[in-house]
A and B are shown apart, each in its own frame.
Chain A
């Protein structure tokens, strides 16, 4: 139990520390830790949890961390993963807030962050590809993916509409 708790904390600490710019930056990191390194969840389970995390209120990565932690080690696990994912923010912002403010305004740090974001685009694309193999399993699922992706390229869509459309199309197209 103790080793699981510790590795859960460390895994989600890393996710929190390298989620820069928020949002979907955490997806490839969580995928690598939870599916790749530790094999805690299958890709399909991971996608289900991200879907639930999207449709519930609050920050998506905190929602996902709570759910994954509970699956792994009950209530204690959920508290540990959540604490892990928020620890870097707490440490950096409570202790180093002023120094960071100066650092971020520094052009050298700006170049570092720009390069890091280029890597982020590559990583998020790769995560979509990896997870797609568990999600796009037949013609209807491929159609749902293509429809929503094209719609999002044409018009800015809230994640909530993606989730609502996916759920509705799933109910209609599922091979019962």
Chain B
């Protein structure tokens, strides 16, 4: 078997598929709070504990992870897996980070949720959780806006797109593409 090359061109360390699976199973099973909470845990595992990639390589992986479609944790796991053992490694890493979610959520959806759906305390919990989740989503929009809407052009573009979304009820995908195209036209130099 040939040793897979890293992006920088050096041969990557050879690692057993079992270890790759185990590492990402652990990340998937024990990390709460979504992508931005999971990334530091992955970094700790692959850069410091396992020493699979250097900090510089991990920084490159993060750039691809955040500019690419898909989940942050999944994207970085696949890239680490590919570096270590090629395509099979990428698939094994994806399986590791995904499997705990599927197993845990299946147990909840198939068994716990029907069992407690009609309990009044469960009703009370979800009564409070719904506005909490809406606050979480609104806070995420504000946080993202603070990070990326630099200058008046970005804010105006965002406002126009918001009005367009409300008025037209167009599918979000179309609006994302429209935003991207507007970015190409408007942001020649000053949007960075």
Distance of A52 Cα from B192 Cα, bound (Å): 37
Q: Which of B78, B142, B144 contacts A94 (CB 8 A)?
A: B78
Q: How far is the CB of B121 from chain A (nearest CB, A)?
A: 7
Is residue A123 contacting chain B, with contact meaning CB distance below 8 A? yes
- Chain B residues near A162: list those with CB within 8 A: 132-133, 135-136, 139
Distance of A98 Cα from B29 Cα, bound (Å): 29
Q: Which residues of chain B in 136-183 are interfacial with respect to chain A, using CB atoms and an 8 Å cutoff?
A: 136-142, 144-145, 148-149, 154, 157-159, 161-162, 165-166, 171-173, 175-183
Is residue A38 contacting chain B, with contact meaning CB distance below 8 A? no
Q: Which residues of chain A in 74-90 are interfacial with respect to chain B, using CB atoms and an 8 Å cutoff?
A: 75, 78-79, 82, 85-86, 88-90
Distance of A29 Cα from B175 Cα, bound (Å): 11
Is residue B91 contacting chain A, with contact meaning CB distance below 8 A? yes
Distance of A95 Cα from B125 Cα, bound (Å): 44
Is residue B23 contacting chain A, with contact meaning CB distance below 8 A? no
List residues of A whose CB falls within 8 A of some B CB: 14, 16-24, 26-29, 32, 37, 44, 47-48, 50-63, 66-67, 70-71, 75, 78-79, 82, 85-86, 88-90, 92-94, 97-98, 100-101, 104-105, 108-128, 131-132, 134-136, 141-142, 144-146, 148-149, 152-153, 157-160, 162-163, 165-174, 176
A113 near B183 with CB under 8 A, answer: yes
The dominant DSSP class at the B interface is helix
Q: How many A-B residue pairs have CB under 8 A?
A: 377
Q: Which of B29, B30, B70, B184 contacts A88 (CB 8 A)?
A: B70
A153 near B31 with CB under 8 A, answer: no
- Chain A residues near B46: list those with CB within 8 A: none
Closest to A159 in B: B33
List residues of B whose CB falls within 8 A of some A CB: 7, 28-38, 60, 63-75, 78-79, 82, 87, 90-91, 94, 97-98, 100-102, 104-106, 108-110, 113, 120-121, 123-142, 144-145, 148-149, 154, 157-159, 161-162, 165-166, 171-173, 175-184, 186-188, 191-192
Given A18-B172, A63-B105, A101-B7, decide whether A135 and B131 contact each other with a Cβ distance below 8 A: yes
- Given A24-B144, A122-B165, 5 additional A-B pairs, CB 8 A: A32-B171, A89-B75, A111-B183, A162-B133, A174-B124
B154 near A63 with CB under 8 A, answer: no
B34 near A141 with CB under 8 A, answer: no
B32 near A108 with CB under 8 A, answer: no
| 10 sampled A-B residue pairs with Cβ under 8 A | A18-B173, A66-B109, A82-B102, A101-B63, A136-B131, A146-B135, A148-B131, A162-B139, A170-B125, A176-B124
- Chain B residues near A157: list those with CB within 8 A: 139
- Chain B residues near A28: list those with CB within 8 A: 172
Closest to B89 in A: A94
Distance of A163 Cα from B128 Cα, bound (Å): 9
Q: Which of B82, B132, B148, B181 contacts A112 (CB 8 A)?
A: B181
B137 near A59 with CB under 8 A, answer: no
Given A104-B63, A113-B183, A124-B137, decide whether A119 and B94 contact each other with a Cβ distance below 8 A: no
A58 near B100 with CB under 8 A, answer: yes
B69 near A19 with CB under 8 A, answer: yes
Q: How far is the CB of A168 from chain B (nearest CB, A)?
A: 7
- Chain A residues near B175: list those with CB within 8 A: 119, 122-123
B35 near A112 with CB under 8 A, answer: no
A44 near B104 with CB under 8 A, answer: no
Q: How far is the CB of B128 from chain A (nearest CB, A)?
A: 2
